[in-house]
């Protein structure tokens, strides 16, 4: 984006002089395409643009926000004016923004080539007579942002997002099971498939669906749970990560509040948040407040070190900025959010942890669930699991549900694997959804409560 920003610098300075603690302007230019394939044909093709701006002024710890669609100078200036008026600070002078322009990228994102979807679908349907439905979604987008901050600072970032998701529904003797798999990266589509195959992703979805047709009901009770790295970082993200976001820590009295420097997890646990990993779904160079991205150590060897913060955390609580102020779009106020959050690997291998488990549950893939971010209490569904019997992998089971408490689960980790698997997804909070990645090694957790369909 190339534009004359003197107008905003002057009026941000004016707002600060007249009582604002902080003021900024966020300008966004975006475009994207999506293809949905289902029932042997392309079901939907959609394209969109997402140009607009948001203006924020913080006065006495209270945030005032106004936004406007489009990249035109008048709309952006008007949004700042409305925000200044609501905040009770002097409104913009109304000077013309001579030469101001938000420029779109010279090479727009192209509609993805979806011709391979039909071939994948035909191949998959030949591999099992039990398939009742298969669907695929392929999405590409680009977002360019510019943040004008106090003191004449300006931050710019450009982000590409590409994702592919496969879902297969299988049925046999009246039993219906669903399998899914996805790949999501902050890469343009030209680099997205390096080292990956859409057919293999679809086959993984099919394998999960067929496996669960064979599975027996899961038994219930308190047991040792061995989680594979590819189980997905649900416990890391949902049951622990949200409780480390500064707004939940301070406003909602997270269980981690006031515990910096205290032991909150097993000594093998080190948790990192880092958006500078070149391709993971939660990557960015600057957050949505223009703060440079950084690697933040949240827990180190079991000891709580930091929270995830944004500008408001700094203004209200004096917490150091970690570059985690994120927003879904220009319509939204930024809040503290995770980016790529993961546990560092340990020293054990999966076979060793399996051999140590006389009876338990091996979780290969997690599903959805619910969590109270204040307490960390969770209920998570499992989409692929196996019994562990006498240190060996047993029969697949379905209907498994994990219940427990996130901080307690971190304390009850008895071993961490020497692998690390990253799992992408969309994270919802405060009515907003942003791309993230969660990661974990395989890990052995003592005494989780397993609810099962057998019960």
pLDDT band at 8 (very low <50, low <70, confident <90, very high): confident
CA distance 12 to 26: 12
Structure tokens, 160: 């590409």
Residue 266 has a pLDDT of 94
DSSP for residue 373: T
Q: Is the pTM of this model over 0.85?
A: yes
Burial of 303 (0-12, 13-18, 19+ CB in 10 A): middle
- Which residues are CB-contacts of 439 (< 8 A; sequence separation ≥ 6)? 229, 233, 236, 340, 341, 342, 343, 420, 421, 422, 423
Residue 70 has a pLDDT of 87
The answer to whether residues 225 and 360 touch, using CB atoms and an 8 Å cutoff, is yes
Q: Which of 241, 242, 164, 230 is nearest to 423 (CA)?
A: 230
CA distance 45 to 205: 23
In this predicted model, what pLDDT tens digit does every residue of 34-87 receive, in sequence order? 999 998 999 999 999 999 999 999 999 999 999 999 878 888 888 999 999 999
Residue 310 has a pLDDT of 98
Instruction: Indicate whether 454 pLDDT > 90.
Output: no
Dihedral sign (CA 395, 239, 177, 435): negative
The answer to whether residues 424 and 440 touch, using CB atoms and an 8 Å cutoff, is no
In this predicted model, what pLDDT tens digit does every residue of 297-348 receive, in sequence order? 999 999 999 999 999 999 999 999 999 999 999 999 999 999 999 999 999 9
Helix (H) / strand (E) containing 117: helix 116-125
Better pLDDT: 29 or 2: 29
CA 48 to chain centre: 22
Say which CATH superfamily domain 6-214 falls into.
PmbA/TldD superfamily (3.30.2290.10)
Q: Tell me what the pLDDT averaged over the chain comes to.
A: 92
- Which residues are CB-contacts of 107 (< 8 A; sequence separation ≥ 6)? none
Dihedral sign (CA 146, 148, 152, 153): negative
CA distance 212 to 176: 9
In this predicted model, what pLDDT tens digit does every residue of 415-432 receive, in sequence order? 999 999 999 999 999 999
Instruction: Indicate whether 2 pLDDT > 50.
Output: no
CA 198 to chain centre: 22
In this predicted model, what pLDDT tens digit does every residue of 338-383 receive, in sequence order? 999 999 999 999 999 999 999 999 999 998 888 898 898 999 999 9
CA distance 65 to 77: 13
Helices (H), 223-374: 234, 246-251, 311-317, 350-355
Rounded to the nearest 5°, which phi and psi values hold at 345? -65, 160
Residue 92 has a pLDDT of 66
CA distance 315 to 318: 6
In this predicted model, what pLDDT tens digit does every residue of 251-276 receive, in sequence order? 878 999 999 999 999 999 999 999 99
- Which residues are CB-contacts of 190 (< 8 A; sequence separation ≥ 6)? none
Residue 96 has a pLDDT of 47
Structure tokens, 274: 């880092």
Structure tokens, 75: 């709309």
Structure tokens, 58: 């913080």
Half-sphere exposure (CA, 13 Å, Cβ side) for 422? 22
Would you kindly state where each structural domain of the chain is located, as residue ranges?
6-214, 217-451
Dihedral sign (CA 246, 247, 248, 254): positive
Length of the chain, please?
455
């Amino acid at each position: 984006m190339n534009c004359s920003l003197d107008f905003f610098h002057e009026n941000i300075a004016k707002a600060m002089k007249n009582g604002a603690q902080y003021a900024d302007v966020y300008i966004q230019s975006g475009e994207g395409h999506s293809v949905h394939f289902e029932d042997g044909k392309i079901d939907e093709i959609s394209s969109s643009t997402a140009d607009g701006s948001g203006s924020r002024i913080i006065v006495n710890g209270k945030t005032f926000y106004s936004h406007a669609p489009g990249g035109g100078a008048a709309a952006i200036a008007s949004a700042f004016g409305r925000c200044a008026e609501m905040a009770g600070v002097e409104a913009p002078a109304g000077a013309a923004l001579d030469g101001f322009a938000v420029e779109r990228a010279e090479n727009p994102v192209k509609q993805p080539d979806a011709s391979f979807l039909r071939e994948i679908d035909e191949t998959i349907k030949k591999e099992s007579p039990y398939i009742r439905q298969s669907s695929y979604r392929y999405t590409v987008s680009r977002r360019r942002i510019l943040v004008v901050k106090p003191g004449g600072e300006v931050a710019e970032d450009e982000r590409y997002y590409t994702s592919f998701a496969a879902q297969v529904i299988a049925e046999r003797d009246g039993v219906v099971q669903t399998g899914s798999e996805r790949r999501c990266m902050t890469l343009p589509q030209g680099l997205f498939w390096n080292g990956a195959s859409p057919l293999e992703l679809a086959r993984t979805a099919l394998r999960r669906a067929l496996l669960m047709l064979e599975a027996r009901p899961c038994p219930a009770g308190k047991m040792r749970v061995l989680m594979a790295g590819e189980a997905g970082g649900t416990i890391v993200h949902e049951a622990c990560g949200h409780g480390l976001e500064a707004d939940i820590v301070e406003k909602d009295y997270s269980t981690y509040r006031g515990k910096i420097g205290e032991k909150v997890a097993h000594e093998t646990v080190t948790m990192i948040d880092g958006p500078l990993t070149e391709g993971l779904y939660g990557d960015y160079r600057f957050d949505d407040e223009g703060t440079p991205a950084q690697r933040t150590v949240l827990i180190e060897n079991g000891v709580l070190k930091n929270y995830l913060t944004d500008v408001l955390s700094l203004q209200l609580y004096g917490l150091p900025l970690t570059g985690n102020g994120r927003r879904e779009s220009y319509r939204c106020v930024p809040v503290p959010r995770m980016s790529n959050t993961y546990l560092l690997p340990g020293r054990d291998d999966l076979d060793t942890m399996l051999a140590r488990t006389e009876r338990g549950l091996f979780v290969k893939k997690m599903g959805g669930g619910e969590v109270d971010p204040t307490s960390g209490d969770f209920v998570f569904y499992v989409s692929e699991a196996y019994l562990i019997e006498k240190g060996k992998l047993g029969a697949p089971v379905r209907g498994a549900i994990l219940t427990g408490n996130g901080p307690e689960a971190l304390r009850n980790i008895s071993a961490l694997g020497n692998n690390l698997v990253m799992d992408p997804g969309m994270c919802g909070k405060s009515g907003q959804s942003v791309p993230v990645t969660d990661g974990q090694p395989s890990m052995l957790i003592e005494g989780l409560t397993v609810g099962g369909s057998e019960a």
